[in-house]
Structure 1
Amino acid sequence: MTVGLFGGSFNPPHDGHRLVAETAQKRLGLSRIWWIVTPGNPLKSHDGLAALGERVEMVRKFAAPARADVTAFEARYKVRFTADTLALVMRRRPAMRVVWVMGADSMATFHRWQEWQKIAETVPIVVVDRPGKTFAALSSPFAHRYDFARVPQEEARILPYRQAPAWTFLFGPRSATSSTRLRAEASAPS
């Protein structure tokens, strides 16, 4: 089984998230996508963060149920950082082939994540392009540090079977929707 782990606050989930998940799943031929709803991103303000249960329910209604699972196991296991999430998954599911899924906006700041190099050297990573983030992502410290491990997008299906570090950047349809913009529109006076 090949699984894409797609973590985020999803506050709220939107078409951009779905496009990242579906693009990664389709282009890599992944069996499943696990939408991991985090208690809260350590790098972002938690002001306006909807309750975890509420966000889980929003993602359940939003994600394609046929090939997606929605979980908030990080809260249950009191895991805060992605490196720890990956260690937990690898310990509990050692035979499962895992790929970390992220949008290009996350890749641009990936070097700020706790133990980002450990993450890159633990599992392959698929990065899906997001509007206005292509250059920032492809010129990021992560992209420079792991340039030698980049898999051409035409060969993306081999990524789940590659030893980390390995990553690919997928170009394709993009959605300009963002959670920040959706929250701002929701709170704007009518």
Structure 2
Amino acid sequence: MTRRPALHIPGITEIPPSASGMRIGLFGGSFNPMHEGHLLVMEETLRRLQLDALWVLVTPGNPLKDNKALPPLENRVQAARQAIRNPRIRVTGFEAARGFAYSWQTVDFLTTALPDRRFVWIMGADSLADFHRWQRWRDIAARLPIAVYVRPGAARRALASRAATTLDYAQIDEADAAVLADCAPPAWIYLQGRQSTLSSSAIRASRNLD
């Protein structure tokens, strides 16, 4: 199994507290940096999926991207925490402490270690478009429900993607968003709603021009 070296940082790499029966969204990413678009997805999914909490999983590095210029994990976690005001949203870099390199490892661990929580994986439509490139993506879909939130310009590519067509039979109606956390996987939903045109890559590019 591919793993990174474990990285333990007090106050940064602990798993957030939770209780049996909680409905918890998992929203992973590099968050370099966290921006308004991320916050919008978090608030909308918290409300529409009727979640008790949302965990922002700040990854040590995306396996599909070049991470050479990625700021340290601690910096990104702290910056994300400063951007968030909702007490139900918790930011953690716990994947680094476990040496996880891929999302399926995170999903496998959490659903095994905390089987009485009702986890939902949250991603943007741009991520759904590339979901089939994720290592063991079918295993992720088989372990917990997935909520996909619309992203500007990504809808057509996302809904025509390999993952979306493969899992077409498991898609539930948008009107049933409140019951997604109770659905046995595979189950996924595509959520339309408010959108932001901001992206982390565009923000980084604008900073480089300053």
TM-score after normalising by structure 1:
0.97
1:32 aligns with 2:53: yes
In structure 2, C-alpha distance between the alignment counterparts of 1:102 and 1:63, rounded to whole Å: 18
* 2:165 match: 144
CA distance in 1, matches of 2:91, 2:112: 20
SS of corresponding position for 2:143? coil
Paired letter, 1:150: Q
Q: Deviations over 1:45-100 (max 9, x none)?
A: 11321110000001101123311111101000101111110111112211000000
Which blocks of at least 5 consecutive residues in structure 1 are unaligned?
none
Considering only aligned residues, what root-mean-square deviation do their CA atoms show, in Å? 0.8
Deviation of residue 19 (structure 1)?
Answer: 1.1
SS at match of 1:121: helix
1:105 is matched with: 126
Instruction: Confirm or deny that 1:66 pairs with 2:99.
Output: no
Tell me the residue number matched to 1:45.
66
- Report the number of matched residues: 189
Counterpart residue identity of residue 202, structure 2: R
Write the distance in 2 (CA, Å) between the matches of 1:109 and 1:142.
8
> Amino acid of the residue matched to residue 107 of structure 2?
L
Q: What CA distance in whole angstroms lies between the structure 2 residues aligned with 1:47 and 1:96?
A: 35
Instruction: Give per-residue Cα distances to partners, 1:116-143, cap 9 Å, x unaligned.
Output: 0111111000000000001011111111
1:39-188 counterparts in 2 under 5 A?
A: 39-188=60-209
Could you state the TM-score of these two structures normalised by the residue count of structure 2? 0.88
Where does structure 1 differ by over 2 angstroms across 4 or more consecutive aligned residues? none
Q: Percent identity?
A: 43
In 1: Cα distance, 2:85 partner to 2:51 partner:
13
Aligned-partner residue type, residue 197 of structure 2: A
Unaligned runs of 5+ in 2: 1-21
Kept after mapping to 1: 8 A contact 2:143/2:186: yes
